[in-house]
A and B are shown apart, each in its own frame.
Chain A
Amino acid sequence: MNRREALARTAWLLGSALSGPTLHAMNRWETAGKQTVPGQNDPFLNETRKAIAARVADLIIPRTDTPGAIDTGVPDFIELMLRDCYEKPAQHTFLTGLGQLEQKEFLTLSPGRQTEMLRRIEADAKKAKGPTFWRIIKELTLLGYFSSEAGIKASFDYQPIPGRFEAIKIRPGQKDFMYGHKF
């Protein structure tokens, strides 16, 4: 296990829900000097690819009786995060994944076919080592949605100032609490 893998594993062991940044930071340490990120003003995704990313995010967190990924600005968030918080190799992995969906004319497929395709991609991702397109887009969609104001308020019992600590009993299906401390 190299230093990067070890750190990623540690983050997991210490209970970090989001081991991504550390992983990618390590990635960056190893490739420092060799890589440059796209210019601040360059669009990271062209229009088609942005639309594919948006559709995938929408399938991961659809609008139901509560807002979905599109409603909470997840497509823009994904682009911002990829540019600012991911290293070149992960960016490449992501763009390659989008490119493959583009080749398969993902946007023209029926919702059922799209879902089916994502299930295959998810199954393949389970077998892969390291970050995959699926893992990145799913992680960013969940982060973007479950940290958005509308997403939090629709999903959780948000308690920015709990004021006490108690061991409690909950009923089946009860919404989780969110405290906003992991940011």
Chain B
Amino acid sequence: MNLNTKSEKARTYDAIVVGSGLTGGWAAKELTEKGLKVLVLERGYEVRHITDYKTAMMDPWEFEHRGRVTTASAEEHYASNYFSAREGTQHFYTNDKENPYVEKRPFNWIRAYHTGGKSLLWGKHSYRWNTEDFLANAKEGIGVDWPIRYEDIEPWYSYVEKFVGIYGQAEGLAVLPDSHFLPPFAMTAPEIHLKESVARKLNRPITMGRVAHLTKAQPHHLALGRTDCQVRNRCTRGCPYGSYFSSLSATLPAARNTGRLTIVHNAIVKEVLLHDKLQKAKGVRVIDQDTMEVTDFYAKVLFLNAGAIGSTSILMNSKSARFPNGLGNDSDQLGRNIMDHHLAVGARADIGGFEDDHYFGARPGSLYIPRFRNWGNDKRSYLRGFGYQGGANRADWGRGAAETGFGADFKIKMTQPGPWSINLGGFGEVLPDPNNRFYLSTDQKDKWGLPLVVFDADFGENEKAMRKDIMNDAAEMLEAAGFRNIVPYDLPVSHMGLGIHEMGTARMGRDPKTSILNKFNQVHTCKNVFVTDGAAMTSASNVNPSLTYMALTARAANHAVTQLKARNL
């Protein structure tokens, strides 16, 4: 780590943030801007903004395998291969072979161990939860009640949205509260036709997705070196324009500007260190991933932002006389109630006509269809609901492999846009279930001597019942638009982890007997430890979770600083 690790004083900060991803970046920004000296510990290697986006400006012919992943590389990335099967992005996904885990039931644990974490790779769809999302558990007697309501988080949504920069269309819908938006991208002609048909025949709104790209950079974005989206949709190679929100483009630069940020890479946090007498954390123990050197760092307050599974694993590994089952785990809830969104279900169709319609630009983002089931007067046999993402595209030359023909005429045909098609993919809410869990292996360890994560989770009856509607409702909407060859699908490949929305395992709640974290994301029984990533989630909603993680993190950081100043931590 090349730090002066000699004196304890040199290893002491006001706050330690574990993880530099989406929420770690936010914790670092908020805590440094409020005057704290902050150490960010990143377990992976360093990725520098722009400089290290080595594939971002590469042309197709510069890739040896023209974008395809080699069998050797695919074998090393078995969890993420499904999503990252591109030569230009593979290096930002963690090598699963070197970082193994155990699947008692199938789980794709998709990780990005480097600066910025999955904020470099996220889908960027950013939606507020609605009022009912925070009430549903209590109303239905599922899991535990959220200790906060929409009103508690609303100002923090506003706060983070303005900084992030999210494009979208205000719709005034209770089911999908509006954010502060930058101008939305346009819809294509068949998408507008779908929107109008579905509104007229089924009375369901379709809106442009709400996605974290700068369509019109504001002064505070420009001040951080972020500029307007160039509509290349090469996002996951890293954006040299800083147009999409990531820790690297936005929060870490803001934290760095305070002069109070230190980032240490290759630093795997093994455990939280507790004061002998006080029920309080005093720091963390770190293993250097390359040298295996062990170092302790100290702070008054800890933020765990290592990703849901990572943060909870650290708590599980932090055993003491007071907490023999892991830090803060008096309730035995640690590791339980894993949630994700269930997907790989929906419908696709061919679109006839629109031959003279096309689009210019590679639009990042898609349509969004907000939840309509179990909403208002609609009542289904299952609980909760789902939304859709998707859109209409014209086929490119890639269609040729499946088409009949070859030779000179075929060659010309492939240079022209192909027919339109559309896909609507569902994202369904997953209920918290204590039997959906992960735990640490008692006999298998990784190369740093840390126990392997064992996943034991799957979707339940509620999710399965919902999938029938996701499929049929999508088909119904495509039919309303008069599209052809409609294929509803529900793929058996769908299992936990593929949504890359790992949630739960250290849930927030009102009662320490049934939850790990309080309403400010503090460990109930160790108040200077905050967990503000997906681990904190008490339920899952059906919308993408990142915006809510960011709002919770900013809110918790504000609380932490207030409490520090009042000498309550």
Contacts and interface: CB of A to CB of B under 8 A. Distances in A.
B187 to A, nearest CB: 7
Contacts of A147: 60-61, 63, 66-67
Contacts of B230: 161-163
Interface residues of A, number: 77
Given A168-B360, A169-B356, A179-B232, A15 B393 contact: yes
A75 interface: no
Quick one: which of A29, A169, A179 has the most chain B CB within 10 A?
A: A179
Interface string A152-183: 10011001111111111111111111111111
B401 A181 contact: no
Interface in B60-79: 60-61, 63-72, 74-75, 78
A49 interface: no
A139 B398 CA distance: 8
B86 interface: yes
A169 B487 CA distance: 28
B558 interface: no
B342 to A, nearest CB: 13
A1 B491 CA distance: 9
Contacts of A29: 75, 78
Contact of B68 (A21, A115, A122, A176): A21
B59 A142 contact: no
Contacts of B399: 17
Contacts of B63: 147, 183
Given A59-B407, A166-B359, A183-B67, A10 B414 contact: no
B81 A22 contact: yes
B356 to A, nearest CB: 5
A119 to B, nearest CB: 9
B401 A142 contact: yes
B411 to A, nearest CB: 5
B149 to A, nearest CB: 36
B82 A155 contact: no
Interface in A1-35: 1, 3, 6-7, 9-11, 13-15, 17-18, 20-22, 24-25, 28-29, 32
Sorted from nearest, which 6 A-B pairs have the closest CB atoms?
Answer: A17-B398, A183-B67, A165-B361, A25-B74, A162-B361, A6-B493
A148 B63 CA distance: 10
B407 A62 contact: yes
A175 B492 contact: no
Nearest to A3: B493
Interface stretch (A77-85, A93-101, A102-110): A77-85
A20 B491 contact: no
A88 to B, nearest CB: 9
A142 to B, nearest CB: 5
B65 A80 contact: yes
A168 B356 CA distance: 8
Nearest to B61: A149
B186 A167 contact: yes
A16 B357 CA distance: 21
Contact of B362 (A17, A59, A87, A179): A179
Interface of B: 57-61, 63-72, 74-75, 78, 81-82, 85-88, 185-189, 192, 230-234, 344, 346, 348, 355-363, 393-401, 404, 406-408, 410-412, 414-417, 421, 423, 425, 487, 489, 491-493
B359 A168 contact: yes
A32 B57 CA distance: 34
Contacts of A81: 65-66, 68
A166 B360 contact: yes
Contact of A183 (B88, B360, B412, B425): B88
A118 interface: yes
A8 to B, nearest CB: 10
Given A7-B82, A169-B358, A164 B68 contact: no
A138 B400 contact: yes
B414 A183 contact: no
A115 B492 CA distance: 41
Chain B binding surface, main DSSP class: loop
B365 to A, nearest CB: 9
A62 B493 CA distance: 40
Contacts of B356: 169-172
B358 A15 contact: no
A143 interface: yes
Contact of A166 (B67, B232, B361, B492): B361
B5 to A, nearest CB: 41
Given A9-B489, A22-B82, A167-B357, A143 B66 contact: yes
25 contacts: A1-B492, A3-B493, A7-B493, A15-B423, A17-B395, A17-B397, A21-B85, A60-B406, A66-B411, A68-B411, A81-B65, A85-B71, A142-B401, A144-B66, A148-B61, A155-B414, A155-B415, A160-B59, A161-B230, A167-B187, A171-B356, A175-B415, A179-B233, A179-B362, A183-B66
Contact of B60 (A165, A167, A180): A180
A168 B358 contact: yes
A10 to B, nearest CB: 5
A97 to B, nearest CB: 15
A61 B346 CA distance: 36
A111 B355 CA distance: 35
A17 B395 CA distance: 8
A143 B406 CA distance: 14
Given A17-B396, A62-B407, A80-B65, A181 B233 contact: yes
Contacts of B65: 80-81, 84-85
A117 to B, nearest CB: 12
